[in-house]
Amino acid sequence: MQLEKTIAGVKAQVQIWKKEGLSVGLVPTMGYLHEGHRSLIDRAVRENDRVVVSVFINPIQFGPTEDLESYPRDLEADCRLCEDAGAALVFSPEADEMYAPDFSTYVDMHRVSEELCGKSRPIHFRGVCTVVSKLFNIVTPDRAYFGEKDAQQLAVIRRMVRDLNMNLQIVGCPIVREADGLAKSSRNTYLSAEERKAALVLSRAVQTGKSMILDGEKDGDKILAAMKEIIQQEPLAKIDYVEMVKWDTIEVHHKVDGPVLTAMAVYIGKTRLIDNFIIEE
Ligand code: PAF
């Protein structure tokens, strides 16, 4: 497996593959890879001739008070996981390779990016759309893989690809959970033992919401109230949001009468965790 730090190096390799008629899959990540990322890479390897994994902590998607500096990093372990999974290339540029000092062009999105995480992280999706567009231009993948844990991100990327006529398929992959239900996340490493236990309120709330819907409940407000009640019983938990939205448009919605995303962001101590479930009916 090849490790590339430069854009020119990636472009040259991809050009060779394309000349050979090989399909290319891209898994964009910020590194510190876990089984959630592994499931994306596994699927990409199954569906493409060559797979590129990008490992880049994108500074422009972090707000000034967020965890850019402390975000966990381990490129060696990431490369081992990628090689083991069958990826052909890891692209891990430095920030100045991606952003010239006078970088001035951003991909900005309205509506889909404004609810849920967009409210408390106002510049986040502008940073995500910009870096993902750059990665798509560099790698020119046939398919790109994103986890449903960041469900709003997946909806935002799908909308960007549609709106800007980008020529690739976006593949969403299911959330991977720890045995006790906690959604896998690189940020779980921030949790103390006590916080790790407390963090289970997120998956418990997800389970409750899902069961209510499977039992026939259609009233979004009742579902959200039951989920909030579970989270509020945990003293270490502070709700950022628990919302129901239409799955494709991310507009706030109060009824289960079509595809809906029920999503939450909850602080456990200082760590902000997200979780969700999607009803595709
Ligand atoms: O989901 C992530 O890890 C990041 O937001 C992404 C898509 C790699 C863009 O930096």
Q: What are the average pLDDT values for consecutive 10-residue runs of the chain, which has 281 residues? A: 98 98 99 98 99 98 96 98 98 98 97 96 98 99 98 98 98 98 97 98 98 97 98 98 98 97 98 97 77
Whether 37 is catalytic: yes
> How high is the pLDDT of residue 111?
95
Question: Looking at residue 148, what DSSP letter applies?
Answer: G
CB 240 within 8 A of CB 247: no
Pocket test for ligand 1, best of 33, 58, 133, 157 (most atoms within 8 A of CB): 58
Residue partners of 272: CB distance under 8 A and separation at least 6: 187, 240, 265, 266
101 burial (CB, 10 Å; 0-12 / 13-18 / 19+) is: exposed
Q: Which two tokens stand for residue 64?
A: 């000034």
**54 Cα nearest atom in ligand 1:** 8
Tens-digit pLDDT profile for residues 117-135: 999 999 999 999 999 999 9
What span, in angstroms and rounded, lies between the C-alpha atoms of 247 and 250? 6
Ligand 1 lined by 144 (C-beta under 6 Å): no
Distance from C-alpha of 221 to C-alpha of 256, rounded to nearest angstrom: 10
Atom of ligand 1 nearest to the CA of 157: 7
Per-residue pLDDT at 281: 77
The sign of the torsion formed by the CA atoms of 66, 57, 73, 40 equals positive
d(CA 115, CA 249): 10
Ligand 1: atom nearest CA of 147 is 1
Strand order in the sheet with 237-246: 237-246, 260-268, 271-279
- Which domains, ranges and CATH numbers included, belong to the chain? 2-173 (3.40.50.620), 186-275 (3.30.1300.10)
55 pairs with which residues across the strands? 29
Q: Provide the whole-model pTM.
A: 0.98
* Best of 26, 113, 150, 154 for a ligand 1 pocket test (most atoms within 8 Å of beta carbon): 150
Kindly give the distance from the C-alpha atom of residue 29 to the centroid of ligand 1, in angstroms, as a whole number.
5
Catalytic residue among 37, 124, 253, 254: 37
